[in-house]
């Protein structure tokens, strides 16, 4: 069943009638500029931002309240937690140009090395928590996935989506293969398959599954996308099935994958649309309750990937899956 994606749920308390003076005043503080710099591509909670910027929780809440009232940050609930990110560009014409100019000016300067280290620490903590969950719940992986959307439920549409994606079938990288459900289809269609996973336990399960199917053209690597970049892997295709909502920094994942792809290569992403079923965080180890289609488009654009086709599938329990297609431009192809 194909349906349209749900509308965006990020809500800003700043209204379209906020004055230019309010906006300028909100951005006229060095700490608040740093907050906006940190929130460029990722969302963080109050406690995380307090640790990154070395300020007490009450002080951070005060600054976030000012930024949100001015329409510069927006909030979204993920289970029992509230996360902050930059607000979308407002529809009010008199504020659009100022918003764009402000964010562009902030982005011209990278966060200090000290800030970058603190941001990395927070993201590493998120990654460790996710890895521990999968190591401790490997035996429950399939039943947990069945609660939302297992590969058995969306595998055929993803395979059809892959077949409809143009490109050379040389090497494909699957990030987060889970128990290996997609490996037979990839092994059949590509000369070489690389399976990459941060969980050693899940990677072993993928390897055992591949061996049971006599799939001989698969290489298994224990690590993350940063390690893949360090190893200079250059796949023609990359598949990412139900992985982003477990990752600490989805924008960074897109950046890494764009670096890995050969020019003209394709990235296929299968991901949950945003939902409000918070039980998925505890039962399935989800860090994010899905994403809006616009989120994936924004991260892909920031990574210099072009957007292809999209398909939206309704699942059980009210969940919705988005299948997305992105390409790395080939400057040598006219």
3-state secondary structure of 163: helix
pLDDT value at residue 283: 77
CB 263 within 8 A of CB 330: yes
pLDDT value at residue 36: 95
More confident residue, 286 or 233: 233
pLDDT class of 2 with cuts at 50, 70, 90: very low
* DSSP letter string, 180-225: STTHHHHHHH-SEEEEEES-HHHHHHHHHHHHHTT--SEEEEES-H
Q: What are the beta bridge partners of residue 312?
A: 322
The third-level CATH classification (topology) of the domain covering 140-327 is Rossmann fold (3.40.50)
Mean pLDDT (the chain) is 88
For helices 57-69 and 46-53, angle between their N-to-C axes, nearest 10 degrees:
110
CATH number assigned to the domain with residue range 20-111, chosen from the 4 options 1.10.10.350, 1.10.10.10, 1.10.357.140, 3.90.1170.50: 1.10.10.10
| pTM summary value | 0.81
Cα 219 from Cα 213, distance rounded (Å): 14
Q: Where do the domains of the chain lie? A: 20-111, 140-327
């Amino acid at each position: 069943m194909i349906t349209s994606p749900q509308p965006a749920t990020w809500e800003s308390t700043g209204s379209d009638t906020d004055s230019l003076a309010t906006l300028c005043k909100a951005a006229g503080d060095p700490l608040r500029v740093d907050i906006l710099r940190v929130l460029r591509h990722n969302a963080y909670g109050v406690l995380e931002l307090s640790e990154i910027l070395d300020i007490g929780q009450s002080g951070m809440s005060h600054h976030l309240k000012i930024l949100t009232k001015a329409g510069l940050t927006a909030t979204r609930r993920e289970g029992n937690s509230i996360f902050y990110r930059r607000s979308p560009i407002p529809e009010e014409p008199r504020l659009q140009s100022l918003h764009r100019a402000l964010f562009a000016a902030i982005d011209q300067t990278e966060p200090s090395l000290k800030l970058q280290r603190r941001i990395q620490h927070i993201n590493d903590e998120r990654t460790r928590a996710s890895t521990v969950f999968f190591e401790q719940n490997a035996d429950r992986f399939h039943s947990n996935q069945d609660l939302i959307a297992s590969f058995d439920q969306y595998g055929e549409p993803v395979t059809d989506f892959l077949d409809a994606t143009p490109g050379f079938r040389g090497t494909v990288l699957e990030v987060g293969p889970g128990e290996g459900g997609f490996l037979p289809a990839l092994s059949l269609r590509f000369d070489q398959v690389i399976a990459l996973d941060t969980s050693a336990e899940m990677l072993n399960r993928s390897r055992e599954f591949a061996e049971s199917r006599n799939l001989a053209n698969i290489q298994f690597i224990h690590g993350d996308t940063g390690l893949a970049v360090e190893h200079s892997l250059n796949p023609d295709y990359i598949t990412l099935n139900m992985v982003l909502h477990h990752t600490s920094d989805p924008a960074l994942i897109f950046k890494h994958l764009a670096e890995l792809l050969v020019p003209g290569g394709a990235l296929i992403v299968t991901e949950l649309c945003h939902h409000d079923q918070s039980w998925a965080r505890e039962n399935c180890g989800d860090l994010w309750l899905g994403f809006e289609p616009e989120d994936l488009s924004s991260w892909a654009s920031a990574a210099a990937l072009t957007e292809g086709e999209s398909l939206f599938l309704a699942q059980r329990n009210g969940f919705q899956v988005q299948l997305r297609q992105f390409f790395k431009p080939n400057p040598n192809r006219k």
